[in-house]
Amino acid sequence: MDDCLFCKIIKGDIPSNKIYEDEDTYAFFDIHPQTRVHALVVSKHHIPDLGYNAELSDHELAACLRACAAVATQLGLAQGGYRVVNNCGKDACQTVQHLHFHILGGQQMAERMA
Ligand code: 5GP
Ligand code: ZN
């Protein structure tokens, strides 16, 4: 998608602090961290949100979650734990319409999600 921010980041047209990359996913640090460690894992295959998951292969979809775990391990979060968040649509306040997962950690989280 030519006008998609995360597609531009994946292509390298917009700079990012890359953490991890494989055939299906790309991960980088969020520009406005909400926790001490805040990374984003994005699918290289552009879909607007999780609701469009039928457009991804099972392999591509699984790759997103595997990348989340790999990134968390790479960032040293595996032992203490971390949260994986996907905002899907308006009520979830999704702001970038390209499937992505937030990896949040490096600190004790609130017990319940708001
Ligand atoms: P959403 O609200 O759609 O779930 O998450 C989008 C995330 O992308 C936000 O946490 C926001 O801070 C992050 N973000 C927006 N623009 C950029 C950017 O240009 N670079 C990086 N690294 N993160 C961005
Ligand atoms: Zn995109």
pLDDT tens sequence for the chain (114 residues): 889 999 999 999 999 999 999 999 999 999 999 999 999 999 999 999 999 999 999 999 999 999 999 999 999 999 999 999 999 999 999 999 999 999 999 999 988 876
- The Å distance, Cα 112 to ligand 2 centre, comes to 31
pTM of the full structure: 0.97
Task: Locate 87 and state its tokens.
Answer: 């905002």
User: Is 7 within 8 Å of 1 (Cβ atoms)?
Assistant: yes
Domains of the chain: 5-105 (3.30.428.10)
User: Please, which residues have CB within 8 angstroms of residue 64's CB and are 6 or more apart in sequence?
Assistant: 24, 25, 41, 43, 99, 101
Nearest ligand 1 atom to alpha carbon 87: 4
Q: Examine the residue annotation and report whether 38 is marked as an active-site residue of this protein.
A: no
Burial 35-45 (b: 16+ CB within 10 A, else e): bebbbbbbbbb
